[in-house]
Amino acid sequence: MSEESALDDAIAFLPGFAWAVPDAFAPAVSAYRFEQGDVLHRNRRGYDPLSGRIPKGLTALQLRHPPRSARTLPSEYEGDRRLANWQSEVELELVDPAAGNVEVFSSTQGRLFMALWKGHEDGLRGEGDDPPLPRSARELAQSLRDGELDRPGPTRPGPGCRFRFVVDLSSDASRGKSAAIADALAALGRFEARDLDPIAAGARDGGLFHPTLVVRELVLENVAVEAAEAALKRALYVGSGETERFSVSRHGVLEALAPVIAE
């Protein structure tokens, strides 16, 4: 086993970033709020225990400000919290361990995010307006509902159906919902799953969407749409009363692949 694969077994990393961003930073990625003491490395080797001579190229960013767990917005704040975080100031150390160099400077959460995502490190010291927020899960889900994304053929064509929906891999709520969907559909039998990032899914300007967004596809063989919809309703519908208000389209796109022949 290579050193990199061994590290991958020890540390899970979020997809889509030019820098190596561990999954442990998912809440910070979701909220656009890194805090004092957070250390991020340009490549995965930076997270290895260091011993002996330090190899070149292990550039790191360490947060000096904002303080950890400090509330920057009042609880009654009604604006866009993510935008407010995106525009808020940070103080950083850019560290080159091999050379022993440490540069301290101020930036914003948005510029830090873009450096981690796109590798735009020069933009950390930029002036003027911040870069725009990444496009959201809500926008990608709307594109999916509107039929604007590609409809790739299933890996195993045959009778059954598939459910396609958007997952934000940096959001605990989104990952929890995805797990509930998978558990509900697993009760109907085995299914195949695959994830496509917005570019691979055919989204217009796909590279502008948040890097942890994926379109997840679950393919169920020999399962009718009606059975899948009933399972999804049990997992996702939290309403009560006699009025039927559940709509699977609010959560994703469910479609038949080929008719299921009843035995």
Q: Which residues contact 25 (CB under 8 A, 6 or more apart)?
A: 14, 34, 38, 40
For the stretch 16-75, pLDDT in tens is 999 999 999 999 999 999 999 999 999 998 998 876 666 777 899 999 999 987 555 555
Cα–Cα distance between 50 and 168 in angstroms, integer? 33
pLDDT of 1 reads 44
Q: Which of 58, 59, 88 is nearest to 73 (CA)?
A: 88
**Whole-prediction pTM value?**
0.88
Q: Which two tokens stand for residue 195?
A: 């994830």
Q: Which two tokens stand for residue 158?
A: 């045959």
- Considering Cα of 61, then 73, then 125, then 116, what sign does the dihedral take? positive
- Considering Cα of 195, then 201, then 206, then 207, what sign does the dihedral take? positive
Length of the chain: 263
Q: Which two tokens stand for residue 46?
A: 């930076």
First to last CA, the chain: 48
pLDDT of 243 reads 46
Query: Which domains are seen in the chain, by residue range?
Result: 3-125 (no CATH), 137-258 (3.30.70)
Please classify residue 232 by burial: count the beta carbons closer than 10 Å to its beta carbon, then call 0-12 exposed, 13-18 middle and 19+ buried: buried
For the stretch 153-166, pLDDT in tens is 766 667 899 999 99
121 φ/ψ angles, rounded to the nearest 5 degrees: -70, -30
DSSP string computed for 195-260:
EE-TTTTT-TTGGGB-TTEEEEEEEEET--HHHHHHHHHHHH----SS-----GGGT-EEEEEEPP
Q: Is the separation of the CB atoms in 74 and 61 below 8 Å? A: no
Band of residue 206 on the pLDDT scale cut at 50, 70, 90: very high
In which residue are the tokens 């525009």 written?
87
State mean pLDDT over 130-136: 94
